Copies of this chain bind each other. A is one copy, B any other.
Amino acid sequence: MHLFTSKFIDLPEQVTEMPGSITTPAGYSAAGIAAGIKASGKEDLGMLVSSSPCVSSTLFTTNAAAAAPVCVCRDERQPGGMRGVVVNSGSANAATGERGMEDARRMAALAASAAGTDEGEMAVASTGVIGVPLPMDLIEAGIARSAEGLSENGGGDFARAIQTTDRIEKQGAVAVELSGGTVHIGACAKGAGMIAPAMATMLCFITTDAVMGADQLEVMLKDAAGVSFNAISVDGDMSTNDSVFLFANGASGVAVDEGSADRQLFSRALAAVCRGLAMKMVADGEGATKTIELKVTGAQTAEEAAKVAAAVATSSLVRTAFYGRDANWGRLIASAGAALAGGPALKASVAFEDVLLAKDGQASGDVPDGDRLQRIMESPEIAVELALHRGSEECTIYFSDLTHDYVTLNAEYTT
């Protein structure tokens, strides 16, 4: 399994992909077991712990119906001081009221106790069906077994334990050659499909053994999310459980100094890892057959660029056209025009890869070589540019096509 399979990702030359996981950086152990929460009997409970204290950074959904574990981590933990996490799949512990809050606190406390950390150092996350209380007896027994199984090779098991409808494995690791030596970043995620508007859940866990400051970590994580997870969730619309956790335990002894070239390089490496995971999510899009990179240019404001990008990327007509391999630029323009409703007449241009299909709001007249266009439409990754010619702001997002399998999966599966 390779993390960087998308043509939309640039990897700096000092960054080397390696087979690995969240336990590839030094000083982390993890486990993943089948606790019986999922009816399928698959892995559904995971734990990750650093053997030494960490600095940490987190990102949570802004959903007003945020799940209990999100509320606990967000409101009752020091964001920079966590060194481990316990997570279950099969049940989201969302829309579960005060009982859900108590269950989330207890789940974290059990994990902290079993792993020998302070309670305040243990984060908690859940994913799965909404509105059903956690089966705490299974969780309790599962945490005890997980803690016994914690291992420096447990990252892969952990990654399996967080999956629900995922069909593609989403984990990997990189080595980063800094001036003071080599550090590692490991990560895994769950999440499939157009996160918004489908409200699927994404969880992501990232570890590093670099020596970092908490403030530094926070800025880097925000930057990385902006070009990865937030570039696929389109407009900040997030599910009840979306969470990203980043831990840095300093076990390599190699520091990443503020303002240094190392700082820039590490930031690029972190962004590449997040983009690798985000591209897997899009490609694993529930039922997806292709990934589209949509670059909206020439907007009057950044907000306008984001609004148009979101409208196009979430248009069912646009997404089914890509599934049908139909280079239907008219649907992109109609969707952009709707996003800009009430404004001056839109005269947009549309290019699929290097083929300019529309110019000044109408067919470009350059009849493209039919074979060339067909080859583009059949490729698994397509770069599309929609130029609004109204200003100089832009926004790039990634989305998948809308397919028969998406409908099957979501009509038959209760999430």
Contact = CB atoms under 8 A, between A and B. Distances in A.
Given A238-B341, A407-B406, A130 B331 contact: yes
Nearest to A412: B324
B402 A198 contact: no
Contacts of A376: none
A403 interface: yes
A331 B339 CA distance: 25
Contacts of A362: 95-97, 99-100, 131
Given A338-B238, A362-B96, A64 B407 contact: no
B407 A63 contact: no
A315 B200 CA distance: 11
Interface in A91-105: 92, 94-97, 99-100
Nearest to A238: B338
Given A199-B315, A316-B198, A341 B236 contact: yes
Nearest to A63: B337
Nearest to A71: B345
Interface in A319-340: 320-321, 323-324, 326, 328-331, 333-340
A280 to B, nearest CB: 20
A334 B65 contact: yes
B323 A407 contact: yes
Contacts of A333: 65, 95, 130-131, 240
A408 interface: yes
Contacts of A351: none
Kindly report how many copies of this chain are found in the complex they form together: 2
Nearest to A409: B320
Contacts of A197: 311, 314-316, 335, 338
Interface string A128-150: 01111000000000000000000
A114 B71 CA distance: 69
A239 interface: yes
Chain A interface SS verdict (over half):
loop
A335 B199 contact: yes
B199 A320 contact: no
B64 A95 contact: no
B410 A363 contact: no
A408 B321 CA distance: 10
A106 B245 CA distance: 62
A358 interface: yes
B96 A65 contact: no
Given A324-B412, A411-B326, A341 B62 contact: yes
A202 interface: no
A196 interface: yes
Nearest to A357: B131
A349 to B, nearest CB: 11
A371 B94 CA distance: 26
Interface string A92-129: 10111101100000000000000000000000000001
A61 B314 CA distance: 20
A237 interface: yes
Contact of A64 (B196, B342, B415): B342
A240 B113 CA distance: 61
B63 A341 contact: yes
A407 B402 contact: yes
Interface in A57-103: 61-66, 71, 92, 94-97, 99-100
Contacts of A342: 62, 64
23 contacts: A62-B342, A63-B337, A64-B337, A64-B338, A64-B345, A64-B346, A65-B346, A71-B345, A92-B330, A95-B363, A97-B362, A99-B362, A130-B331, A132-B363, A197-B311, A199-B317, A236-B341, A237-B311, A237-B341, A316-B406, A320-B407, A324-B411, A324-B412
Which 8 interchain pairs have the tightest Cβ spacing? A65-B337, A130-B330, A324-B411, A320-B410, A64-B340, A62-B341, A97-B362, A64-B346
